[in-house]
Structures are given as C-alpha cells and as structure tokens.
Amino acid sequence: MHLRPIKSLENVALGIAEFENKIAEYVEAGGRPLEPDEMKADLLAILPESLRENLLWRATDPGDFSKFKNMVQGAGGQSPPQ
C-alpha cells in the first residue's frame, strides 16, 4: 500500500482523510485490518517533518487511532474536512 506524504501543515486534515480512505480501500479489497498502533505509526510516517518530530512520543500512548488522529489535527491547527 502506497501512502502519500503530507507536504505541509495546511494539508494535514486532508492528508488524514486520504490516509483513512486508503486504509478503508485496502481492507475492503481483502487486506488485513490494521491494529491501532500500526495506523498511528503509518500516519506518523507521512506527516510533515516538523509535526512528526513533535508527535513521535505520543504515537505510543495507549488509546485508539481516533484519539491520536484528533490530537494530530489539533497539533496541525486544523479541523477535519467536511
């Protein structure tokens, strides 16, 4: 599965939506559902470097992917796309 890097902080919310869509397509095509820790690590890997460095230590916090995703969007200063 190829995940496109998110180039800037302005594109974080859109990039997360694309990431989630790509994961859903993968599972719908017969792929194994990813564990929350795998999704956190994969999302972290495509974030802009400045944001990734600030969130690296939070990716291992207990909790589900949605909690981590919301924290990433808050750190990027964005709301989810409508």
What is the number of domains present in the chain?
Answer: 1
* Tokens encoding 50: 């400045």
Q: Quick check: is 3 in a domain?
A: no
Q: Quick check: is 80 in a domain?
A: no
Q: Quick check: is 63 in a domain?
A: yes
Q: Quick check: is 57 in a domain?
A: yes
Q: Tens digit of pLDDT for each residue in 29-47?
A: 999 999 998 999 999 999 9
Biggest distance spanned by C-alpha atoms of the chain: 34
Residue corresponding to tokens 């719908």: 28
Alpha helices for the chain (secondary structure H):
12-28, 36-46, 49-55, 65-75
pLDDT of res. 2: 80
* Cα distance between residue 34 and residue 78, in whole Å: 25
Q: Is the pLDDT of residue 26 over 80?
A: yes
Q: Is the pLDDT of residue 82 over 50?
A: no
Q: Quick check: is 4 in a domain?
A: no
Residue 55 — very low, low, confident or very high, per pLDDT cuts 50/70/90? confident
- Quote the pTM value: 0.76
Q: Quick check: is 82 in a domain?
A: no
